[in-house]
Chain A
């Protein structure tokens, strides 16, 4: 009972915080909210017992937690009524969460640097957009093809990891990311720097996602469709992540994160698992890219730069490596933060950089650090 209560209080507090953070306007409320967040994590750091108690209660009252969160997640757009901007922010948070989860396979589970997730995301987006614009394929049909193309790219990107590691491998991925960005910028058939415009909105059985959503006598902005679509995608990403994490594959990735030589010496084919991490990352990132392309209806190379990849790396590190909830928290925080920092207008990116560095120095294990696996009742 106590566990359930704690779960309910924490969950609603988190949801309320998210809502307040999103609608906060002006410097004072924003600073106050950030201070509150900082205070919470300071308390976690100072009194680990709080953290343990919360985690423990979520483990014990997991059905209560699930029920509360399903309600919160499904109902969240209704809190914002007609305001399309907030729903848009939520959709972007979800897309970045998917990308974060994708990158987490490498960065979090296996500790492989990848500064090219932005590029795989772009390949997914461009692939689907080109198929839709040139051949009139529907959103649903382009999804698997874009994912396939990106996965192939992921494999290719992963191949140099046979011979390189750490900083050198980081450079390989940077190089690939920059090359893809430059090619998208220069090719005529990708629309050059202008990119591609007029990507048709997805439709399901003739029901277009571009119209406002009417439910329970309420009218919600059309973005709400994409919110729910992104939810499906993130659910898929979470399922993939969990299944891999709780399998021999997740263990092998963790092993090579901890010590590559030792991993080889227990019989793990290190090269294969590295390449696999690249491929899985690319697969999920492509999904996010397709969703983005069909949501924004307009894509350009500058949506998929090196900086996007850096942002993603930061999300995973700040949120917590190898912790799915942590990665989602990181993605939400770092997607919303730059938007909210608009009140600092010109100082936005500066603040962003400072916040990232501060995070890395103060809580390097991330907001929600990785947890040990448990096998059944212990």
Chain B
């Protein structure tokens, strides 16, 4: 695919003898939503960890936005425009909801230590801007995050924790957003609200791409343009949802297990 903003080629990762990802190819075009599904242990989260540089791949290349980012440090990759959420939400739980998003703006602020010490007005202005921007972001995501912005993140309910993680990831204005099981622990209503949230975000910025790892079939059926299926670290399907769900190999590996 020539218009791919993101492409992984033959990405492989081994932990000791275990092959967690085996020559996986993935392409994402700008503006596309790609779902990655697969049974537990198929390597979905590992894929995200490789993309964001938390693990270095044992083989293969990862390209993003015209650059080879294989082996880059996580913070450089984020700076380049990839943000993510985590499967078990990893908020800065002893900080306020607002601070979580302000920290999400880290890549869009620039104060260094000398400026912070010698030009306090500049640093304060930047932080005021960040707080205002973060407040705007919180207003736009659903739930009552905005009302709870001065509470500790640890006090939030499960669905709000997910939303806050997404808000924090969006704060960096990524070109590619990685969502790791965003509906885990959510009930149907929360899931619907989340699907709405994602649609709204997409409507704001049509060029922006999302890879979502998901178990919830409603979300997979309604949002993405394409579905990649992983099984035991291998890619076994890569097609629109309607095609994928009729694929016997996929049914055997995945759908057969979860939808009796």
Asked if the two chains touch in their complex, CB atoms less than 8 Å apart, one says yes
- Would you call A267 and B75 a contact (CB within 8 A)? yes
Q: Which residues of A contact B123 (CB under 8 A)?
A: 243, 246-248
- Would you call A258 and B92 a contact (CB within 8 A)? yes
> Using a CB–CB distance below 8 Å, which chain A residues touch chain B?
240, 243-244, 246-249, 251-252, 254-255, 257-259, 261-270, 276, 280, 370, 372-376, 378
B251 at the interface (CB under 8 A from A): no
Name B111's closest neighbour in chain A (CB-CB): A248
Q: Which residues of A contact B126 (CB under 8 A)?
A: 247-248
Q: Which residues of B contact A265 (CB under 8 A)?
A: 52, 54, 74, 78, 83-84, 86, 90
B193 at the interface (CB under 8 A from A): no
Known interface pairs A248-B126, A262-B86, A265-B78; A373-B99 also in contact (CB < 8 Å) = yes
- Would you call A375 and B131 a contact (CB within 8 A)? yes
B91 at the interface (CB under 8 A from A): yes
Known interface pairs A248-B126, A249-B116; A268-B106 also in contact (CB < 8 Å) = yes
- Would you call A262 and B107 a contact (CB within 8 A)? no
Bound complex: CA A258 to CA B128 (Å): 22
Bound complex: CA A89 to CA B25 (Å): 68
B104 at the interface (CB under 8 A from A): yes
Q: Which residues of B contact A375 (CB under 8 A)?
A: 98, 127-128, 131
Q: Which residues of A contact B127 (CB under 8 A)?
A: 246-248, 375
Name B90's closest neighbour in chain A (CB-CB): A262
Q: Which residues of A contact B54 (CB under 8 A)?
A: 261, 264-265
Q: Which residues of A contact B96 (CB under 8 A)?
A: 372-373
Bound complex: CA A373 to CA B111 (Å): 18
B152 at the interface (CB under 8 A from A): yes
- Would you call B116 and A248 a contact (CB within 8 A)? yes
In the complex, how many angstroms separate the beta carbon of B110 from the nearest chain A beta carbon? 8
Q: Which of B94, B120, B150: most chain A Cβ within 10 A?
A: B94
- Would you call A262 and B92 a contact (CB within 8 A)? yes
Q: Which of B83, B112, B123, B172: most chain A Cβ within 10 A?
A: B123
- Would you call A266 and B131 a contact (CB within 8 A)? no
Q: Which residues of A contact B161 (CB under 8 A)?
A: none
B109 at the interface (CB under 8 A from A): yes
B18 at the interface (CB under 8 A from A): no
B95 at the interface (CB under 8 A from A): yes
Name A256's closest neighbour in chain B (CB-CB): B92
B225 at the interface (CB under 8 A from A): no
Name B98's closest neighbour in chain A (CB-CB): A375
In the complex, how many angstroms separate the beta carbon of A250 from the nearest chain B beta carbon? 8
B73, B99, B106: which contacts A372 (Cβ < 8 A)? B99
Bound complex: CA A332 to CA B200 (Å): 54
Other than the known A265-B86, A267-B106, A375-B98, what 13 A-B pairs have Cβ atoms closer than 8 Å? A246-B123, A248-B126, A249-B113, A251-B102, A251-B106, A254-B94, A265-B78, A266-B106, A266-B168, A266-B171, A267-B172, A280-B113, A374-B150
Bound complex: CA A370 to CA B110 (Å): 25
